[in-house]
Amino acid sequence: MERVLVTGGAGFIGANFVRHLVSQTDARVTVLDKLTYAASTEALVGLPGSRVRLVPGDIAHADVVEPLVAMHDTVVHFAAESHNDNSLTQPAPFVTTNILGTFTLLEAVRRTGARFHHVSTDEVYGDLPLDDPARFTEDTPYRPSSPYSASKASSDHLVRAWMRSFGVRATISNCSNNYGPWQHVEKFIPRQITTLIDRGRPRVYGAGCHVRDWIHVDDHCAAILAILRSGRIGETYLVGADGERNNLEVVRTLLRLFDRDPDDYDTVLDRVGHDLRYAIDAAKIRRELGWEPQYADFEAGLATTVDWYRVHEPWWRRHKAASEAAYAAVGQ
Ligand code: NAD
Ligand code: TDX
């Protein structure tokens, strides 16, 4: 792992991962990123220019991908269209980037033999009932619900097919909902934090009973590095930190952190096809790789994240109005 190509390294998790990789290894890193609305080159500012370079480009373009992959021994693949709500209004880029983009990368690593790590989501497994202790494991059947999760499921299948059919050396991780620095204001937690900074009222879809299994982005990044270092080729690892909370609980925790009344929120139109509950059993990565989440206290992690958004207001401010206008247009 001397020369690492990180796709989507200017996005939320990718940029946090590049920072983690630079601090924990001697690797030289190339970020390949299309710099969509979701990218933040600011998130890479301050990293040593001798070790990190940014190449703007599209993972679905073979003429960009092939020569770059040939220069690297490892590819860590984050690049994606990542937001469920956008996939419901405009699904086309989800198919192009998440499916064709992954295909293009796989064809390149097939030729060069580079090690490939595919970053995926627990949403490929569909949802779980609310009143059931069951959690996802690596053996749970695929049952994606949204255009986003179906496109990620497709990409996972392509990775497995390229491993089995062509001997591509790959691993896959499926992680639960991340929170932390540099997450776009369209996502649930940053949307509510930035609305509260603006003294507005959080917006909860439907009854707010939907459950997500929250993990701090630093814990996710450490899990990916552990897989790169000692994961078994061909294996899938589920990543989660036992952080199940329903959306109303998260909003009420935020309201408390802002000294606001617990009922100071609005319910808005529910998401179409809204997955009820995600929950990860991360026993395999804990047992095999010794990975443990460091952010055991979700409320403390949330408080740190609130502080981060207060300090980084100039960064998120420029996206906030457009993001809220897009939500307003669909009644959310
Ligand atoms: P993000 O939307 O914040 O960032 C995605 C990045 O990919 C952006 O920088 C964007 O410019 C880039 N990109 C998009 N299309 C591209 C293309 N065609 N070519 C090159 N670059 C392109 O996403 P994120 O939340 O950081 O998610 C990163 C990965 O992690 C995704 O694959 C996502 O499915 C997965 N994931 C996310 C979460 C989560 O909670 N956010 C949880 C599990 C898995
Ligand atoms: O304003 C809101 N109000 C609300 O109640 C928003 C934006 C969301 N929600 C709800 C919908 C979900 O139940 O909050 C929950 C979390 O929503 P998102 O942040 O949009 O995340 P989710 O759809 O769960 O998907 C996320 O986790 C899995 C990431 O966006 C995906 O990239 C990842 O794969």
Question: What's the domain range around 162?
Answer: 3-178+214-239
DSSP state of 14: H
Active site residue 123: yes
Pocket test for ligand 2, best of 94, 156, 177 (most atoms within 8 A of CB): 177
Complex ipTM above 0.95? yes
Pocket of ligand 2 contains residue 191 by CB under 6 Å: yes
The alpha carbon of residue 233 and the mean position of all alpha carbons in its chain are separated, in whole angstroms, by 22
* Contact of 149 with 121, CB cutoff 8 Å: yes
Q: Is residue 316 part of a domain?
A: no
Q: Which ligand is nearest to the CA of 8?
A: 1
Q: Which of 82, 79, 106 is nearest to 10 (CA)?
A: 79
Do the domain assignments include residue 81? yes
Which residues have a Cβ under 8 Å from the Cβ of 262 and sit 6 or more positions away?
A: 252, 255, 256
Q: Give per-residue pLDDT as tens, 322-331.
A: 999 999 999 9
Q: Is the pLDDT of residue 131 over 90?
A: no
Residue 16 has pLDDT above 90, yes or no: yes
Does residue 31 lie in a domain region? yes
Residue 32 pLDDT: 99
* Closest among 129, 111, 215 to 173, alpha carbons compared: 215
In a domain, 232, yes or no: yes
Is residue 116 a part of any domain in this protein?
yes
Residue 316 has pLDDT above 90, yes or no: yes
Nearest CA residue ID for atom 23, ligand 2:
84
Question: How many domains does the structure of the chain reveal?
Answer: 1
Q: For residues 145 and 166, what is the distance between their CA atoms, to the nearest angstrom?
A: 29
Closest residue by Cα to atom 27, ligand 2, is 177
Within a domain: 11: yes
Q: Is 236 in the pocket of ligand 2 (CB under 6 A)?
A: no
* pLDDT per position as a tens digit, 161-194: 999 999 999 999 999 999 999 999 999 999 999 9
Query: Which ligand has the minimum distance to the alpha carbon of residue 123?
Result: 2
Task: Quote the pLDDT of residue 222.
Answer: 98
pLDDT tens-digit readout, 38-69: 999 999 999 999 999 999 999 999 999 999 99
Closest ligand 1 atom to Cα of 58: 19
Ligand 2 atom closest to Cα of residue 208: 5
* Dihedral over alpha carbons 196, 304, 280, 4 (to 10 degrees): 110
Distance CA 32, CA 68 (A): 9
Rounded Cα–Cα distance for residues 270 and 249 (Å): 17
Residue tagged active-site, from 81, 123, 219, 275: 123
End-to-end CA distance of the chain: 44
Judge whether 2 counts as a catalytic residue. Answer: no
Confidence at residue 319, expressed as pLDDT on a 0 to 100 scale: 96
**CA of 256 relative to ligand 1 center, distance in Å:** 30
DSSP element (H, E) containing 13 = helix 12-24
Q: Is 184 contained in some domain?
A: no
The answer to the question of residue 255 being in a domain is no
CA angle 33, 36, 41 (to 5 degrees): 60
Q: Is the CB of 205 under 6 A from ligand 2?
A: yes
This prediction's pTM: 0.99
Using the mean position of ligand 1's atoms as its centre, give its distance from the Cα of residue 82 in Å.
5
- The CATH number linked to 45 is 3.40.50.720
